[in-house]
């Protein structure tokens, strides 16, 4: 029975060791994923904000074009009204010219008729000049009647001349009126031609502006779709972060249990060789915290030594440092380069002080660059937990 219990205990310890080892990597990996996902989320939020700014800019430009289009349409309406007004005036002027030309033809006809009548009277008077005078003398009742009859013929001649001059003046006036109306018509047609050109120009601008507005509408729709995609991506990233944080908390709880297991089993076998381990510890300090404060350098050494003392990790400094997927400088080969040439003096001193018992981070088993959402002790650019 005792043998069975001992075997079960050994199996449990082995399982805890495997789980703790996997958890140690998983926790670091999960925190990296959290950091990476948060960075991606920030990038997506930045892209979303840029897209929203682009949408606002496009809408402002579209609004400006719509205002321009309204002004152009207003101008086009005025020009159309002007063209319609000029067309009406030209039509009226053509009618006036037609009537004036008819009046002119009538005046010419009247002038010709009056001229012909006057010529006939004059011709008659000259052809029958003697007879007429004899008749006047014979037929006159007296001197007074004779003078009246002579004066009558004189008045008739004067009347004919006056009427002829009047008709000639009327014809000249009508002809001038026709010329004036024709010039006015030409001026109106010139104004209408200018208005037609202006109308054509404005229509071209209206079409161009309308096309630009359509293009901006398309770009706004495209940008809004892109923004919706970014918003969906952010929601997905937030969901991923929630899952990773829950997983991270679970992993930290498993790590906490591993620490409790170490406390309940204080007699773990581990080896720290001040001679051979000093160089390896100093090398990993330089690789991970070469630019950090002296306190931060000791903190990195403390994490390595805490793992050596924990039953959840290998029991030597070199084994902890070279444990797969734990320290990036090991996988990159930089650790071995520093180990071969020897670490900086401050890193060697920090390693020596840590091995002599100096501790700045307590029982922390992990460290990483500072990211939101992780509780721990921050020293410089690292958080220890």
Query: How does the average pLDDT of the chain come out, rounded?
Result: 80
Instruction: Output Rg (C-alpha) for the chain, integer angstroms.
Output: 58
Give the DSSP H/E element, type plus range, for residue 200.
Answer: helix 143-264
Distance CA 273, CA 266 (A): 19
What residue spans in the chain does CATH classification 1.10.287 cover? Answer: 1-266
Give the DSSP H/E element, type plus range, for residue 192.
Answer: helix 143-264
Task: Determine the pLDDT at residue 326.
Answer: 85
Task: Determine the pLDDT at residue 279.
Answer: 92
> In the CATH scheme, what architecture does the domain 267-385 have?
Orthogonal Bundle (1.10)
Task: Determine the pLDDT at residue 20.
Answer: 41
Task: Determine the pLDDT at residue 189.
Answer: 87
Q: How many CB atoms lie within 10 A of CB 252?
A: 19
What residue spans in the chain does CATH classification 1.10.10.2520 cover? Answer: 267-385
Q: Is the pLDDT of residue 296 over 70?
A: yes
Q: Is the pLDDT of residue 22 over 60?
A: no
Higher-confidence residue of 32 and 328: namely 328
Name the H helices within 265-312. Answer: 276-289, 294-309
Q: Is the pLDDT of residue 288 over 70?
A: yes
Give the model's confidence band at 1: pLDDT under 50 very low, under 70 low, under 90 confident, else very high.
very low
Nearest Cα to Cα of residue 161 among 104, 119, 108, 107 = 119
Please give the structure tokens belonging to residue 331: 């996988």
Q: Is the pLDDT of residue 287 over 90?
A: yes
pTM over 0.75: no
The domain made up of 1-266 has a fold known as Helix Hairpins (1.10.287)
Reduce the DSSP state of residue 321 to 3 states and report it. Answer: helix
Tell me how far apart the 2 most distant CA atoms of the chain are, in Å. 190
Give the model's confidence band at 284: pLDDT under 50 very low, under 70 low, under 90 confident, else very high.
very high
Give residue-wise pLDDT tens across range 174-223: 888 888 888 988 998 888 899 899 889 999 999 999 999 999 899 999 99
Give the model's confidence band at 313: pLDDT under 50 very low, under 70 low, under 90 confident, else very high.
confident
Task: Determine the pLDDT at residue 385.
Answer: 86
Nearest Cα to Cα of residue 360 among 316, 306, 279 = 306
Q: Is the pLDDT of residue 3 over 60?
A: no
Task: Determine the pLDDT at residue 49.
Answer: 93
Task: Determine the pLDDT at residue 171.
Answer: 74
What is the average pLDDT across 239-265?
71
Q: Is the pLDDT of residue 334 over 80?
A: yes
Degrees to nearest 5, angle at CA 204 with 200 and 208: 170
Q: Is the pLDDT of residue 150 over 70?
A: no
Task: Determine the pLDDT at residue 123.
Answer: 66
Q: Are 349 and 53 in contact (CB under 8 A)?
A: no
């Amino acid at each position: 029975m005792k043998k069975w219990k001992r075997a079960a205990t050994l199996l449990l310890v082995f399982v805890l060791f495997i789980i703790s080892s996997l958890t140690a990597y998983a926790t670091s990996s999960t925190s990296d994923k959290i950091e990476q996902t948060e960075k991606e989320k920030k990038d997506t939020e930045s892209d979303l904000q840029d897209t929203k700014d682009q949408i606002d800019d496009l809408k402002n430009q579209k609004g400006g074009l719509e205002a321009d289009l309204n002004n152009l349409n207003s101008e086009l309406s005025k020009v159309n009204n002007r063209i319609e007004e000029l067309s009406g005036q030209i039509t009226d002027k053509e009618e006036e010219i037609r009537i004036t030309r008819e009046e002119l033809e009538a005046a010419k006809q009247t002038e010709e008729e009056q001229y012909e009548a006057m010529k006939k009277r004059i011709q008659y008077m000259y052809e029958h000049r003697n007879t007429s005078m004899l008749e006047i003398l014979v037929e006159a009742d007296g001197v007074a009647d004779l003078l009246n009859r002579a004066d009558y013929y004189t008045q008739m001649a004067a009347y004919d001349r006056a009427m002829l001059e009047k008709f000639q003046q009327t014809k000249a006036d009508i002809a001038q009126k026709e010329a004036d109306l024709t010039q006015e018509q030409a001026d109106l047609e010139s104004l209408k031609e200018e208005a037609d050109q202006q109308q054509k120009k404005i229509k071209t601008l209206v079409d161009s502006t309308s096309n630009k507005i359509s293009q901006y509408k398309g770009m706004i729709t495209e940008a809004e779709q892109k923004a919706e995609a970014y918003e969906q991506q952010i929601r997905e990233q937030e969901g991923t972060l929630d899952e990773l944080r829950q997983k991270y908390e679970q992993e930290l709880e498993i790590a906490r249990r591993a620490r409790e297991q170490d406390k309940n089993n204080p007699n773990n076998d581990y080896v720290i060789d001040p001679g051979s381990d000093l160089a390896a510890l100093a090398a990993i300090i330089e690789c991970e915290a070469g630019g950090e404060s002296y306190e931060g350098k000791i903190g990195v050494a403390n994490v390595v030594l805490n793992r050596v003392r924990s039953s959840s990790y290998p029991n030597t400094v070199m084994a902890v440092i070279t444990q797969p997927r734990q320290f990036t400088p090991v996988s990159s080969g930089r650790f071995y380069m520093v180990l071969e040439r020897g670490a900086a003096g401050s890193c060697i001193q920090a390693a020596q002080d840590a091995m002599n018992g100096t501790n700045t981070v307590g029982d922390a088993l992990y460290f990483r660059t500072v990211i939101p959402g992780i509780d721990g002790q921050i020293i410089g650019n690292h958080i220890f937990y």
